[in-house]
Amino acid sequence: MSADRLFVESSLRQTVRFTPEGGRTEEDRVRRGVCLEEDVSPSGTAHVAADGTELLDSPPHALPPGTVTRAREVLAHQPCGFGPRHTDLLAGLAAESGAVLTLAGHEQRVLAGSPERPVADTRTLRTVEVELPGAGSEVFPWPAPDRPSSDPAPAAVSEAVRNALEALRARTTLPPAELPDPVPELVLLPGRAGAFFHELVGHPLEGDVVASGTGYLAKNARVAPEWLTVDDGAAHGGHGFRARFDDQGTPTSRTPLIREGRLRGPLNDLATARLTGTPPTGNGRRLDYGFPAVPRMTHTRAFCARPGTLPEGPWIAPLGLSLERMGIATGEFVFVAHHPLLYSGRSPAARLPRLRISGSAGRVLAGLRPGPGGLRGYTRASKGCGKLGQFPLIVSFANSGLRLPAGLVEVTPDV
């Protein structure tokens, strides 16, 4: 094959879980190899991959010597992972706090793009998750995420764990309560519902879905209030997923999905850019070199141009949202809120049972109201998104506060 694109990777994905009793479980996934891709039709790609240096030693098509040298340098890179100073610190904090702590990291060095002019990039993400039974979890980014070999800043980590525990323990002191009847308004608090828009807006606007015409979102339609913006871009990931180039060597950008209430997008790799007649957006991503790149989200944000306020009466914060079902063609969805709280004004009043939240994405987007301001991000380096057999690909989210008026979705106990 004559290669149109090259992708070289040396990466380590690591998760270490610490229990208060001194237990420790660790998962490491090292990937080191090369793939070559050739466009064989407007929508078809031939993909060849091999571990290590095999495709550099015996390529199916001659590669420029300078590119081969750079590729070997990437493959020789050894991701540093977590050292004893990292793990000893977390083990001690788990024993001291009585919480389960999960330290997760992703370090990936790549060379991507045309064999004649590939570009290099390094992606690093590290997070700590703090869990208490019955209260859910809080997640924070590891200090100095861009310097994986740096000192672990014990004081900063200890303070972040204490802050997370304070929030979790405050939830456990709340009395349990049944779901009110009638069900009050829901508020998606800042940084607590990015996955909601990842599912309702992001996946339907990935380029392959748009090109197929099977998504529920119609091109250029007004689908939300004019103050709502939803965008995606790895160049602006904050403490979330960040990359200068995607896995095809395209520069990343901030791509609007909804702007002033109207649909924009799509999120493209190179193939779907040709199919949709729209520019590539730097969203060509792959789980690793063993897979072809496809259009995928990176860091998805939903925010208000005109922040609002909290409800004056009772309302529900559906904390711990996870997707149960999403119909790309219909927009019908079901989420589960694992740790919802009932609020009275600005103060949490009770813990609610696990809730199922179902509705129509089109109706929900049109009926949103602005909530409390303050764009906040959320991600866990131990988790990811799945598509076309590629799981778990790291994604991250951010959202400002948004309100779902009473009756906009159906809310029932998850029994």
pLDDT, tens digit (0-9, with 9 covering 90-100), for 152-182: 578 889 999 999 999 999 999 999 999 999 9
User: Is the pLDDT reported for residue 288 higher than 50?
Assistant: yes
User: Is the pLDDT reported for residue 81 higher than 60?
Assistant: yes
For the chain, the structural domain boundaries read: 5-172, 185-413
Q: Give pLDDT, residue 152.
A: 55
Q: Give pLDDT, residue 145.
A: 45
Structure token pair of residue 375: 């764009």
Backbone angles phi, psi at 54, to 5 degrees: -55, -45
pLDDT in tens, 221-279: 999 999 999 999 998 777 799 999 999 999 999 999 999 999 998 999 999 999 999 99
pLDDT in tens, 362-396: 999 999 999 998 899 999 999 999 999 999 999 99
Q: How far is residue 111's CA from residue 120's CA, in Å, rounded to a whole number?
A: 4
How high is the mean pLDDT of the chain? Answer: 94
Q: Give pLDDT, residue 276.
A: 93
pLDDT in tens, 16-57: 999 999 999 999 999 999 999 999 988 789 999 999 999 999
User: Is the pLDDT reported for residue 149 higher than 80?
Assistant: no
User: Is the pLDDT reported for residue 150 higher than 60?
Assistant: no
Structure token pair of residue 358: 């179902």
Tokens 């045309």 belong to residue: 114
Rg for the chain, CA atoms, rounded? 22
Beta strands in 133-200 (DSSP E): 136-141, 185-188
Q: Give pLDDT, residue 265.
A: 83
Q: How many residues does the chain have?
A: 415
Burial 159-185 (b: 16+ CB within 10 A, else e): ebbeebbeebeebeebeeeebeeebbb
Q: Give pLDDT, residue 331.
A: 97
Let me know: does 337 contact 206? Beta carbons within 8 Å: no
Least confident of 79-83, 141-145, 215-219, 313-317: 141-145
Confidence of residue 100 (pLDDT cuts 50, 70, 90): very high
Q: How far is residue 186's CA from residue 177's CA, in Å, rounded to a whole number?
A: 16
Beta strands in 265-340 (DSSP E): 284-285, 294-295, 299-304, 314-317, 321-326, 332-337
Q: How far is residue 215's CA from residue 226's CA, in Å, rounded to a whole number?
A: 22
Q: Give pLDDT, residue 144.
A: 53
User: Is the pLDDT reported for residue 338 higher than 70?
Assistant: yes
What's the pTM? 0.94
Closest to 383 in 3D by CA, of 240, 169, 279, 215: 240
Q: Give pLDDT, residue 3.
A: 87
Question: What is the CB-side half-sphere exposure of residue 414 using CA atoms within 13 A?
Answer: 18
User: Is the pLDDT reported for residue 281 higher than 60?
Assistant: yes
Q: Give pLDDT, residue 394.
A: 96
Q: What is the mean pLDDT of residues 290-296?
A: 97
What lies within 8 Å, CB to CB, of 42 at 6+ separation is: 271, 274, 275
What lies within 8 Å, CB to CB, of 172 at 6+ separation is: 132, 134, 135
What lies within 8 Å, CB to CB, of 240 at 6+ separation is: 125, 299, 377, 378, 379, 396, 397, 398
Structure token pair of residue 377: 């991000």
What lies within 8 Å, CB to CB, of 71 at 6+ separation is: 6, 8, 34, 56, 63, 111, 118
Q: State whether residue 34 is helix, strand or coil.
A: strand
Let me know: does 413 contact 355? Beta carbons within 8 Å: yes
